[in-house]
Amino acid sequence: MNFIETRGNDGIKPTEVPFSEAILNPSASFGGLYVPKELPTLEENFLQNHVDKSYKELAYDILKAFQIDIDENEINKALDLYDNFDDASNPCPVVRVKDDLFVHEQYHGPTRAFKDMALQPFGSILSSIAKKRNENYLILAATSGDTGPAALNTFKNKENIQVACLYPDGGTSDVQRLQMVCEDGKNLKVIGIKGNFDDAQTALKNLLASQSFKDELQNDGIKLSAANSVNFGRIIFQIIYHFWSYIQLLKQQEIKMGEKIYLVVPSGNFGNVLGAFYAKAMGVPVEKFLVASNENNILTQWINTGIYDIRGKELKLTKSPAMDILKSSNIERVMYSLYGAQRTKELLDDLKENNIFKMSKNETLKLQEEFAAVNSDDAYGQKIIKEFLDDGYLMDPHTATCLKAYEDLKQKDLKTVIYSTAEWTKFSPTVLNSLNQNDVKYTDKEALDEISSKYNANLPQSIKDLFNSKINHDSIIDKKDIESQIVKFIRES
């Protein structure tokens, strides 16, 4: 299967590329992204046939349906990394918390967040391609807290790979920061920037599109790629676990084959819900995607009004920082699917030039056939965390935002799956504030210790070890110095 570009072709890049090329060189014409030329058609009984199969078997069959140009042994090697999750047979369990409500726990991997579900196998495959081609790659990552640790973990000490990871100084939890700055791989560089996640992501996109930067790297024999969800190598693995949601409800006899469900996704960069959007197009019976946002409610505005307006907006730092985003990359792939390349380019050109785009009434209605959206604030999230722990379920602040969509947006009596994208350990001070109903400024260690002892909550060894680990990356720089710092890292490593 080949991949094409969301904003059309510029006459310079190839009009179609294979999967391996799309993930090695993810920057498409006019600053666009790569998408499949068409989604695969699965066998009629695909879902039923996987009820008694493992996650790895499901993942393998979906990847084969995409006909990706990756050696079968490399695919299996990548999928074997799920054996390192808490439960190799069920790396992302679907847990019932109410009669009609289920939590898809995506945080059982090595860095305790959903990014492991895609980045563990993706990193293995990208590294194997680079090694096979005898090419050296710089992988760029911009993170609001979870992509960074997952990318650094998967690429650590991989041959032919160097990684530069950008994170907003003060914009992540202490645990997320420690997971990055304590990494000791010789091929890794972690850089804090004076700014927010949008600044980090904009810098990443600018570098991916910069010919002068690519030329600079080429002088050192290095090519450029990315670990963010701008890379379809991430998205293809994010499609799989939405199939798993449905299959697990079938296996638990909570639904019958063909019965529709709601999927509720806490959203920032829109990659997770994009995977769900593709899964539905490939045959998963979804009634609608319910998008939960925090006070940075740009996605709520877009879905509810058809207007994406960031004029004069400032990013708010909230208790759900992975969703603190105003420039959401993966809406582009949804827009391409709904409106085509020309219209997508027109709208995103408007956004780039004027910080706003407006869709037509018919375009907005088409979007709303698939998505509904709502946002909540920190106070709501803290209330939900306490309510659910009182009933025996411990969740993080991002998961808590999903309950607002569950409560406000469901229109039919259907089973609902919400996505828990991070373990409570990543945001323990916020969780403890919620449980104690106070605003005390706990350190992460204080909060982790109190919650684990008072509520008998499991504290993974990897999280405990962070607080005794050596800090290996202490750079905090201005945005204007990002390129020079990365070039310096490459030449010194």
Q: pLDDT, tens digit, for every residue of 59-108?
A: 999 999 999 999 999 999 999 999 999 999 999 999 999 999 999 999 99
The confidence band for 209, taking pLDDT boundaries of 50, 70 and 90, is confident
pLDDT over 70 percentage in the chain: 100
Position 441 in a domain:
yes
pLDDT > 90? residue 341? yes
What confidence category does residue 253 fall into, taking pLDDT thresholds of 50, 70 and 90? very high
Please give the tally of structural domains in the chain: 1
pLDDT at position 464 = 96
Is position 179 within any domain? Answer: no
Question: Is residue 359, in this structure, part of any structural domain at all?
Answer: yes
pLDDT confidence band for 427 (50 / 70 / 90)? very high
pLDDT at 8 over 90: yes
**pLDDT, average across residues 342-352:** 98
pLDDT range class, residue 144, cuts 50, 70, 90 = confident
Domain contains 15: no
Residue 205, pLDDT score: 87
State the pLDDT at residue 86: 97
Q: What are phi and psi of 119, to 5 degrees?
A: -75, -30
β pairing state of 94-98 and 101-105: antiparallel
pLDDT of residue 411: 96
b vs e for 144-181, b when ≥16 Cβ sit within 10 Å of the residue's Cβ?
A: bbbbbbbbbbbbbebebbbbbbbbbeebbbbbbbbbbb
Q: How confident is the model at residue 5 (pLDDT cuts 50, 70, 90)?
A: very high
- Of 238, 123, 109, 112, the C-alpha closest to 176 is 112
Query: Does position 255 have pLDDT exceeding 80, yes or no?
Result: yes
pLDDT of residue 81: 97
Q: Tell me the residue range of the domain where 244 lies.
A: 82-113+233-466
Secondary structure of 202-245 as H, E, C letters: HHHHHHHHCHHHHHHHHCCCEEEEECCCCCHHHHHHHHHHHHHH
Confirm whether 451 is domain-assigned.
yes
pTM of the model: 0.95
CA distance 40 to 342: 23
Asked if the structure places residue 278 within a domain, the reply is: yes
- pLDDT above 90 for 286: yes
pLDDT of residue 493: 76
Note every long-range contact of 210-215, with CB atoms under 8 Å and residues 24 or more positions apart, other chains counting: 210/483, 213/483
Does some domain include residue 366?
A: yes
Q: Is residue 214 part of a domain?
A: no
CATH number at residue 311: 3.40.50.1100
